[in-house]
């Protein structure tokens, strides 16, 4: 599965457009990491636990989007966009969406 | 170039774990964690509190009577004062037998309350209710009660209990931000009594003190028979849901075993003085 | 006693949330499936370029939005799960419902305009959680999907 956030895949031609596919997930870190991140917030800097959380979530969102694309018979997803929204303290939803296509 | 929208599997975006089952598992897991954590905290807080010198504890508590029973001993009737003095005298004799450190001074109180009860509190305060005094049939039984409470003070159980609940409250407040509504409910739970182990240890120390003072542990079982009888009569009135007192039957059996070599003919029980008949407070 | 009443109240809310919430969720998913089947001929893409080999008479912005709230069970289940960390399945289904409903409503608007395709579709999600005294009371979110619906030239 080839992924791109251009509206095309360089060097390839899109032959079929299979429409919108999306993947999303909601995750949270365990309370201990939330607590540590809360302490870290006093001094600022990178909150590693949350960086990790959102990276994992984004990875899973892409995987789910790819599953949809595969089921649609696509071999690439183009014009991918990410969006993240806050759900609760320490929990976030990450979504990825794009257009499933068949390229040659 | 073709444009189409094939059927998509939407279910990929929702995790497949059954939410209710997971919820029940997590609840059980959380309960276990909470129980272990609070037991650890309670124990650690209790051990830490034991490090406070008794003199310090007594200075903090002073004449304040911790469990919130507002009794001015000096305003009591002459009969009640006489009983209070008798309690104080008996506890002095007992503490000598129990090798209580000299700085652990005791303050005895006689409370006007119909339910049989006795308790030790912070700062060396010990209280006996008129309801208990009236139901006792010998000085030996009273000595059992007092020795048990003195043993709690000797073991620093009251301050340890306070330290334990205080540490849990602090943790609760830190966790929830504001535990005002929880802490009240929690405090009532914690104040229910000492651990079973502490009770059993106090019983053992009391039996030893009785044997030293009277040469036998006879008459001590009567105390727990009194409690058992009262509980039977008032069954359902105050369900002691979380009572940590060892079962009455168990304690009675233990005391009877300790008094197995007691000969009631050769070693008669001492009468309770002043007599319980005069035990009204006002 | 007071503690017992509080706990009973909590348990009752939890059961009501579980029963009513999951019934509503099942109903919603069923309706989504019907609506999605009915709107199959409206095609959606998030590309910006229109097909070169077709002609269109008109393009217009269409959007669909919906606000979905959690039930009491979801809320407790999710906050319990976040103690341990991991996937909050209770919220995942909520987000999925919201997003699919937004697409369905957008497609319906496109259909009403006589369009057959929607291009450059974008999603936006915003949390409407109300907070009471600094603590999040309940979670609800608005889901919006928007794009440009194109109306094909008559053949």
Q: Does the CB of B10 have a partner CB in chain C at under 8 Å?
A: yes
Q: Mean pLDDT, to the nearest integer, of A57-63? A: 95
Q: Out of C46, C87, C123, name the one closest to residue A27 (CB).
A: C87
Chain B: closest CA distance from residue C4 (Å): 10
Tell me, what's the pLDDT at B282? 42
Tell me, what's the pLDDT at B61? 78
Q: Which of residues 100-129 of C touch B (CB under 8 A)?
A: 100, 117
Q: Does the CB of A35 have a partner CB in chain B at under 8 Å?
A: no
Q: Does the CB of C40 have a partner CB in chain B at under 8 Å?
A: yes
Distance CA B99, CA B43 (A): 26
Give residue A98's region: left, alpha or beta (phi > 0; psi -120 to 50).
beta
Q: How confident is the model at residue B235 (pLDDT cuts 50, 70, 90)?
A: low
Q: How confident is the model at residue C142 (pLDDT cuts 50, 70, 90)?
A: very high
Tell me, what's the pLDDT at B42? 87
> Which CA distances in Å does B208 have to B195, B213, C130, C137?
20, 9, 64, 58
- Cα dihedral C66, C72, C74, C79, rounded to 10, equals 120
Answer yes or no: is pLDDT of B245 > 90. no
Tell me, what's the pLDDT at B64? 66
Residues of C with CB under 8 A from a CB of A: 43-49, 51, 78-79, 81-88, 91-92, 95-96, 99, 103, 121-127, 129, 136, 139, 141
Q: Do the Cβ atoms of B12 and A64 come within 8 Å?
A: yes
Chain C: closest CA distance from residue A47 (Å): 16
Q: What would you measure as the largest C-alpha separation in chain C, in angstroms?
A: 76
Answer yes or no: is pLDDT of A94 > 90. yes
Answer yes or no: is pLDDT of B74 > 80. no
Q: Do the Cβ atoms of B2 and A67 come within 8 Å?
A: no
pLDDT tens across B134-167, in order?
Answer: 888 899 999 999 999 999 999 999 888 888 888 8
Q: Do the Cβ atoms of C95 and A97 come within 8 Å?
A: no
Q: How confident is the model at residue B247 (pLDDT cuts 50, 70, 90)?
A: low
> What is the average pLDDT value for chain A, to the nearest integer?
91
Query: pTM of the prediction?
Result: 0.71
pLDDT tens across B258-281, in order?
Answer: 888 888 888 888 888 777 654 444
Q: Omega before B116 cis (within 30°)?
A: no
Burial letters for C67-99: b for 16+ Cβ neighbours within 10 Å, e otherwise? ebebbbbbbbbbbbbbebbbbbbbbbbbbbbbb
Tell me, what's the pLDDT at B280? 47
Q: Does the CB of A26 have a partner CB in chain C at under 8 Å?
A: yes
Q: Do the Cβ atoms of B3 and C45 come within 8 Å?
A: yes
Mutate to test the interface with A, among B8, B22, B29, B30 (most CBs of A within 10 A): B8
**Residue in C151, C117, B1 with CA at minimum distance from that of residue A101:** B1
Q: Do the Cβ atoms of C139 and A22 come within 8 Å?
A: no
Q: How confident is the model at residue C14 (pLDDT cuts 50, 70, 90)?
A: very high
Residues of B in contact with C39 (CB under 8 A): none
Judge contact between A54 and A29, C-beta under 8 A: no
Answer yes or no: is pLDDT of B68 > 90. no
Judge contact between C64 and C99, C-beta under 8 A: no
Q: Does the CB of C53 have a partner CB in chain B at under 8 Å?
A: yes
Q: Does the CB of B178 have a partner CB in chain A at under 8 Å?
A: no
Q: Does the CB of C38 have a partner CB in chain B at under 8 Å?
A: no
Answer yes or no: is pLDDT of A40 > 70. yes
When mean pLDDT is compared across A36-50, C4-18, C99-113, the lowest value belongs to A36-50
What's the count of helices (H) and strands (E) in chain A, helices before strands? 2, 4
């Amino acid at each position: 599965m080839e992924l791109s956030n251009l509206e095309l895949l360089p060097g390839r031609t899109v032959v079929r457009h299979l429409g919108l596919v999306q993947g999303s997930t909601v995750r949270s870190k365990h309370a201990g990491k939330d607590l540590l991140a809360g302490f870290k917030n006093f001094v600022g800097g990178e909150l590693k636990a949350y960086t990790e959380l959102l990276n994992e979530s984004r990875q899973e969102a892409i995987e789910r989007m790819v599953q949809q694309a595969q089921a649609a018979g696509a071999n690439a997803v183009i014009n991918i966009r990410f969006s993240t929204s806050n759900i609760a303290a320490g929990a976030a939803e990450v979504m990825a969406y794009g257009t499933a296509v068949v390229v040659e | 170039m073709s444009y189409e929208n094939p059927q998509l599997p939407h279910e990929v975006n929702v995790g497949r774990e059954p939410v209710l089952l997971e919820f029940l598992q997590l609840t059980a897991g959380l309960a276990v964690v909470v129980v272990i954590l609070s037991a650890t905290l309670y124990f650690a807080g209790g051990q830490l509190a034991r490090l406070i010198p008794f003199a310090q504890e007594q200075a903090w508590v002073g004449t304040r009577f911790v469990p919130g029973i507002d009794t001015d001993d000096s305003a009591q009737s002459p009969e009640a004062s006489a009983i209070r003095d008798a309690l104080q005298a008996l506890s002095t004799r007992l503490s000598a037998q129990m090798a209580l450190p000299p700085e652990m001074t005791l303050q005895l109180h006689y409370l006007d309350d119909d339910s049989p009860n006795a308790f030790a509190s912070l700062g060396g305060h010990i209280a006996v209710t008129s309801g208990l005094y009236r139901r006792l049939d010998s000085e030996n039984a009273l000595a059992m009660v007092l020795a048990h409470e003195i043993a709690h003070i000797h073991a620093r159980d009251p301050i340890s209990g306070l330290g334990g609940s205080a540490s849990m409250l602090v943790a609760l407040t830190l966790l929830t931000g504001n535990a005002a509504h929880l802490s009240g409910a929690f405090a009532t739970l914690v104040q229910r009594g000492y651990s079973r182990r502490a009770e059993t240890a106090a019983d053992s120390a009391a039996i030893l003190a009785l044997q030293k003072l009277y040469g036998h542990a006879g008459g001590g079982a009567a105390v727990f028979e009194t409690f058992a009888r009262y509980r039977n009569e008032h069954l359902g009135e105050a369900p002691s849901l979380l009572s940590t007192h060892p079962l009455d039957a168990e304690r009675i059996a233990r005391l009877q075993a300790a008094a197995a070599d007691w000969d009631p003919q050769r070693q008669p029980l001492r009468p309770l003085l002043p007599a319980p008949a005069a035990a009204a407070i006002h | 006693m007071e503690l017992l009443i509080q706990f009973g109240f909590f348990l009752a809310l939890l059961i009501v949330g579980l029963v009513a919430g999951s019934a509503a969720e099942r109903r919603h998913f069923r309706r989504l499936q019907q609506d999605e089947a009915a709107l199959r001929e409206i095609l959606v893409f998030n590309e910006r370029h229109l097909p070169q080999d077709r002609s269109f008479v008109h393009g217009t912005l269409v959007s669909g939005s919906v606000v979905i709230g959690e039930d009491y069970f979801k809320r407790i289940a999710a906050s319990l799960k976040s103690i341990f960390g991991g996937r909050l399945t209770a919220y995942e289904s909520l987000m999925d419902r919201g997003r699919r409903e937004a697409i369905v409503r957008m497609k319906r608007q496109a259909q009403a305009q006589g369009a057959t395709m929607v291009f450059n579709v974008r999603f936006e999600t915003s949390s409407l959680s109300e907070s009471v005294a600094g603590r999040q009371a309940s979670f609800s979110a608005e889901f919006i999907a928007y794009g440009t619906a194109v109306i094909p030239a008559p053949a």
